[in-house]
Structure 1
Amino acid sequence: MPKQASTKSALPALDRSLHILDQIVRSQGPLRYNELRERLSGIQDSSLSRILKALETYGYLHRDAELGYSITAKLRDWSPYLSEKKPDLATLAIKEIDQLAELAQESAAVVLLHDNCLRTQCSRTINEGIQVLGAGERLHFEADHAAAVAVLSALPAAQRKACLQSSYSRFPAKYSFKKIQSEMQQLSGVYIDRSQARPGICRAAKFFEHEQQVGAIFYCLTVDAFHSKSDCLISALSEAAMRLSGSTASPQNSSSSS
């Protein structure tokens, strides 16, 4: 039998890669190249650069020109499997938003319905991207906002009517919700709007229900950007909504009008 080589001598690159990831995870924030080099005694610049590039290529690290290296959503996705505690909706929503924004390089958010009002659970605005509402901010029920229409479309008629008669509604005085719903573009259950208040901007939104909490997850971007990557965005939103719902079944939309 050939003598088995030790892990330490046989896989130095793996050992260094894990050490790099460990340093960045424990720092709870980005680390610059020089900071990593100081923490990794004995590593040559060429080896450090090569390993960092490989970890970027495999999607485990993201490099910012100013801030340095940070872990990606791909690595953070492991956290629920490493924790004995089931993640709550807030934790899941942040993970999905980070993943969506990182994938498409577009701004994204999650809103939840509470007391006939939509509030932003979490959001991420990409650098130089379209600004979205911050966490805790209210999203009014607007006829030209895909997230609002997506949530309203999934509610029972009586609950939808209560939302539209609340002080948080900006729907026109005379309207047919069924008409507004049918006129908004839908692709694979994703609503796509065109903002009247912000010409050239659109939102693509998908409804979800998580343990009796209802809401919508959505992208906010330019109309041109949406059309250039619509297939990717719709697929990503649909998958994110299913994970937030905790199932692979599509939510059933109410067909009643108010």
Structure 2
Amino acid sequence: MARMLGYEPCSHSSRALFNYSSISSPEANRRLGFTFRACSDANAGDNSKRVFVKEKKKLYGFACLPHPPLLGNFEEGISVEDWSLGGSPSKPFCFPDQPLLQKLVVAVDVDEVLGNFVSALNEFIADRYSSIHSVSEYHVYEFFKIWNCSRDEANTRVHEFFETSYFKSGIQPIPGAQVALRKLSRFCNLSVVTSRQNVIKDHTIEWIEKHFSGLFQDIHFGNHFALDGVSRPKSDICL
């Protein structure tokens, strides 16, 4: 596939590795845990494949290049610049300080990603309906399966929850979510894609602006499990 696209994997990998002295040395080779094998001379003896040989025929090396650093490392001042198989490993992998020309667009959910929706809902259900459950029981958002009631009854209970202080002031942000998204927003354009209903759209926008101000470019509502209105799949929103 690489060759069909006009890309020569052997030549790119070889040029990168042979320009990187710390990787091309036998000692580094043993330390990193890989061996070099030739692309050509497939029928040659095994000894000819495991060493660097200066021949007229060009030999190609394959190896696992060092992984780029995690996002957290950028906060420690690690520069990541011009990383590609065809580039030079002498230039460390980095995102430039300037904004990227084209950022990756990332969709972020609200409930259980930005805020603890289920914890507040479960507290309301326990107090209002004397229905006691642990948060770990909520493995789906089809709450009628958790509460052992009809689907319509579950939807009614959720909309009752929307009118109470359990929902309006009881949903707390997920610890660490804001910090993580602040870092991610340096490299990505963030948008909210939530299944929340249109009836709580205004409150949801206010809550996001309060706890995650300035982070999101767009907020989209799927209107799932609504008492009225048309719902929209998250997949369609993302597309």
TM over 0.5: no
Which structure has greater helix proportion? 1
What is the TM-score normalised by the length of structure 1?
0.23
Which structure has greater strand proportion? 1
What is the TM-score normalised by the length of structure 2?
0.24
Larger radius of gyration: 2
